[in-house]
Amino acid sequence: MPYSQIITLEQFIVDQQSLYKDAGGSLSRIFRSLELAAKVVNRDVRKAGLVDILGNHGATNTHGEEQKKLDVIANDVFIAALSKSGEVSIVISEENDEPVFVEGCEEEKYIVAIDPLDGSSNIDVNASIGTIFSIYRRNAANKVASLADCMQKGKHQVAAGYIIYGSSTMLVYTTGLGVNGFTLDDSIQEFCLSHPKIQIPSQGKVFSINEGNYADFPEGVQEYVQYCKAKDKETNRPYGARYIGSLIADFHRNLLKGGIFIYPPTEKTPNGKLRLMYECNPMSFIVEQAGGKSSTGKMRVLDVLPEDLHQRVPLFIGSAEMVDMAVSMLNNAGELVAADAR
Ligand code: AHM
Ligand code: MG
């Protein structure tokens, strides 16, 4: 592409700034910090096999899971970059039990939630991983930031996005004005607009779910999986099954091509596995902005009022028609089978 046609992330954000509700430049400064951190983490991810940054760090996170070294690095890098932006009063992270209150920024307007390295079990096998972020405005009535400022419904996000460290590195984000994707051009170290105005097809041909847990799925989810695998020319079934085990990678593919990702409640994990604040809310904001849908199976994810920073919710997310169908089967379990039997 000729240099004159390149639109960098920074340029794009400056051009869009007047459209943001907060046109004071604060959000742009936060984005600049996220972009810098993304480049640093990208560099580390790319050399993960070369230097001793693979493997477990020894510590376990809030959820009792082992942290990988790269998780720790990514967490430190994003928190440091966001703290330095001067615009963020609190950073909450999937990897930290407690919120990080940024020193000297107690009165700043923004709160950022991050999953610094999602899908980290894929690091050792060189599959795609990513960073997820979500930005909220603080309650202006409170002079100083507090934990209560973090407990907001996802529909109040002012921006959300992810960076996927895949065969190329991309940053995809929304500020509520549609979804745009930027690919990192290694040669100039800039994220360049490559996927403008992303729209998810209303119907896809792919379903993504960890079918190994089938026996533990609710009846309605089992029925939906059977529906996806059944032959039917008219509706283009069976659908393809694609599951990487890295939410960002599965989500990103479905966003571009159409499809549904499900992490249902199971017997072992009645609220699913994914975290509301760090994974489900940002992805839900993005998918809705791209014309798709997201549900816990009972309600719109973005309407869930968080009770705990690290709470989990079941997730049905992707192409609108597929999510509608899956949720309706979940809630009408047994009826389809009964109807078939008649
Ligand atoms: P992580 O935050 O510890 O990496 O876990 C989240 C990941 C998601 O990326 C992925 O969708 C899910 O866990 C896969 O879980 P499972 O292996 O149970 O299918
Ligand atoms: Mg995660």
**By alpha-carbon position, which residue is closest to atom 12 of ligand 1?**
245
Tell me: do 8 and 144 sit in the same domain. Answer: yes
Return the best residue to mutate from 242, 273, 279, 283 for the ligand 1 pocket (most ligand atoms within 8 A of CB).
273
- 159 CA to centre of ligand 1 in angstroms: 23
Ligand 1 pocket, residue 273 CB under 6 Å: yes
Note the pTM of the prediction, 2 decimals.
0.92
Tell me: do 24 and 110 sit in the same domain. Answer: yes
Ligand 1 pocket, residue 130 CB under 6 Å: no
Residue 11 belongs to some domain of the structure: yes
DSSP for 298-330 reads: SSBGGG---SSTT-B--EEEESHHHHHHHHHHH
pLDDT of residue 336: 46
Ligand 1 pocket, residue 15 CB under 6 Å: no
Residue 201 belongs to some domain of the structure: no
pLDDT of residue 267: 85
Which residues have a Cβ under 8 Å from the Cβ of 276 and sit 6 or more positions away?
Answer: 154, 301, 304, 306, 311, 312, 313
Query: The CATH number of the domain where 54 resides is what?
Result: 3.30.540.10
Percent composition of the chain: helix, strand, coil (DSSP 3-state, to 5): 35, 25, 40
- 237 CA to centre of ligand 1 in angstroms: 27
Structural domain for 216, as ranges:
206-341
- 51 CA to centre of ligand 2 in angstroms: 23
Tell me: do 236 and 187 sit in the same domain. Answer: no
Return the best residue to mutate from 243, 247, 275 for the ligand 1 pocket (most ligand atoms within 8 A of CB).
247
Residue 303 belongs to some domain of the structure: yes
Residue 301 belongs to some domain of the structure: yes
pLDDT of residue 123: 84
Residue 200 belongs to some domain of the structure: no
Torsion sign across C-alpha atoms 229, 235, 241, 246: negative
Instruction: Assign 38 a pLDDT band (cuts: 50, 70, 90).
Output: very high
Peptide bond into 238 cis (omega under 30): yes
- 26 CA to centre of ligand 2 in angstroms: 27
**In this structure, which ligand is nearest to the CA of 278?**
2
Q: Are 217 and 225 in contact (CB under 8 A)?
A: yes
Residue 275 belongs to some domain of the structure: yes
pLDDT of residue 126: 87
**In this structure, which ligand is nearest to the CA of 65?**
1
Tell me: do 39 and 188 sit in the same domain. Answer: yes
CA distance readout (Å), 291 to 151, 162, 216, 325 = 26, 17, 31, 16
Tell me: do 71 and 92 sit in the same domain. Answer: yes
Per-residue pLDDT at 338 exceeds 70: no
Give the number of C-alpha atoms closer than 13 A to the C-alpha of residue 50, restricted to the C-beta side.
Answer: 5
Ligand 1 pocket, residue 60 CB under 6 Å: no
Q: Which of 195, 227, 257 is the last residue of a domain?
A: 195
**In this structure, which ligand is nearest to the CA of 63?**
1
Tell me: do 217 and 257 sit in the same domain. Answer: yes
Percent of the chain with pLDDT over 90: 75
Tell me: do 91 and 72 sit in the same domain. Answer: yes
Residue 124 belongs to some domain of the structure: yes
Tell me: do 176 and 285 sit in the same domain. Answer: no
Give the SS3 label for residue 162. strand
Tell me: do 175 and 260 sit in the same domain. Answer: no
Tell me: do 126 and 226 sit in the same domain. Answer: no
pLDDT of residue 339: 40
Tell me: do 162 and 41 sit in the same domain. Answer: yes
Structure confidence by residue, pLDDT tens digits, 286-314: 999 999 999 999 999 999 999 999 999 99
- 291 CA to centre of ligand 1 in angstroms: 24
Q: Which of 140, 169, 195 is the last residue of a domain?
A: 195
Ligand 1 pocket, residue 247 CB under 6 Å: yes
Query: The CATH number of the domain where 273 resides is what?
Result: 3.40.190.80
Atom index in ligand 1 nearest the CA of residue 274 equals 6
Q: Which of 152, 171, 195 is the last residue of a domain?
A: 195
Structure confidence by residue, pLDDT tens digits, 100-124: 999 998 888 899 999 999 998 888 8
Tell me: do 20 and 150 sit in the same domain. Answer: yes
Give the mean model confidence (pLDDT) for residues 161-183. Answer: 97
Residue 296 belongs to some domain of the structure: yes
pLDDT of residue 67: 53
Per-residue pLDDT at 283 exceeds 60: yes
- Residue 6, number of CB atoms within 10 A of its CB: 14
Structurally, the chain folds into a number of domains equal to 2
Strands (E), 8-156: 56-60, 66-68, 88-93, 100-101, 110-118, 129-137
- The residue with greater pLDDT, 50 or 149, is 149
pLDDT of residue 337: 44
- 77 CA to centre of ligand 1 in angstroms: 22
Q: Are 138 and 22 in contact (CB under 8 A)?
A: no
Return the best residue to mutate from 133, 246, 315 for the ligand 1 pocket (most ligand atoms within 8 A of CB).
246
pLDDT of residue 207: 98
